Amino acid sequence: AQSVTQLDSHVSVSEGTPVLLRCNYSSSYSPSLFWYVQHPNKGLQLLLKYTSAATLVKGINGFEAEFKKSETSFHLTKPSAHMSDAAEYFCVVRGFNDMRFGAGTRLTVKP
Amino acid sequence: DGGITQSPKYLFRKEGQNVTLSCEQNLNHDAMYWYRQDPGQGLRLIYYSQIVNDFQKGDIAEGYSVSREKKESFPLTVTSAQKNPTAFYLCASSKDKGPLSYGYTFGSGTRLTVV
């Protein structure tokens, strides 16, 4: 069965410093992986997706993620955090009929 | 613009009442989904539908019911049998029927509170 584990429930960074949100996956076949962002009381917005093309995936708002099969990881990074990046982030793996969500990582950005 | 519309944004339910959450999409997507979100638990699948007049239970279907009479609409009813309905409910759609490569488009959610 497909699943993802987000290794940190909360990450706090200062504005202008790098962001790293960690995700490990488990999949019985070649996975499709996604990162979504959710601002308070809003729906989820797709940041980026990996579907077996390039292992380094670039998304919106300066985010990117690298697929590492040997480590079964799909970590999300951004070189420089902005205050507007404060939100909840979800790592997601494709199932056969639906998508499987991690528990989420809350990103706090300090001024 | 195409998208998914959920209504209402906030909903209050008294004990023993059934309530229906609306989800409408104009993306011409085949598949639609309902998720429940609780703090610290991510999103859990309630029901999904891949074609009109057909739907499947997800992981936490007990106390919920759905219908899919039109491609555009996938309403969720929270029945009195759902013992802990207070949560944030998200509707999503995808143009995939089977293995998903495109991901979901989400609505903006409905926050349901039992009073």
pLDDT at A1: 77
User: Are A44 and B104 in contact (CB < 8 Å)?
Assistant: yes
Mean pLDDT, rounded, for B9-22: 92
Phi, psi angle pair for B44, to nearest 5°: -120, 135
**Cβ atoms B112, A46 nearer than 8 A:** no
Q: How many CB pairs under 8 A join A and B?
A: 59
Q: Per the CB < 8 Å rule, is A99 touching B100? A: yes
The confidence score (pLDDT) of residue B100 equals 57
pLDDT given for residue A51 in this prediction: 81
Measured between CB atoms, which of A90, A94, A97 is closest to B42? A90
pLDDT at position A66, please?
Answer: 95
Which of B6, B27, B100, B108 should we substitute to test contact with A (largest number of A Cβ atoms within 10 Å)? B100
pLDDT above 70 (res B1): no
pLDDT of residue A27: 85
**A43: closest CA of chain B, how far (Å):** 4
Residues of chain A contacting residue B50, judged by C-beta atoms under 8 Å apart: 97
How far is A40 from B73, CA to CA, in rounded Å? 25
- pLDDT, one tens digit per residue, over B52-93 is 999 999 999 999 999 999 999 999 999 988 889 999 999 999
Q: To the nearest whole angstrom, how far is the Cα of A44 from the nearest Cα of chain B?
A: 6
**What is the predicted pLDDT for the residue at B10?**
94
Q: Whole-angstrom Cα distance, residue B99 to residue B111?
A: 29
d(CA A111, CA B84): 38
* Two tokens, residue B24: 């409408």
pLDDT of residue B97: 60
pLDDT digits (tens, 9 = 90+) for B27-40: 999 999 999 999 87
| Averages of pLDDT over each 10 residues, chain A, 111 residues | 92 98 90 92 89 87 95 97 96 85 95 95
Percent residues over pLDDT 90 in chain B: 72
Residue B40 to residue A90, Cβ atoms within 8 A: no
Buried b (16+ CB within 10 A) or exposed e, B49-71: bbeeeebeebeebeebbbebeeb
Predicted confidence (pLDDT) at residue B103 exceeds the cutoff of 90: no
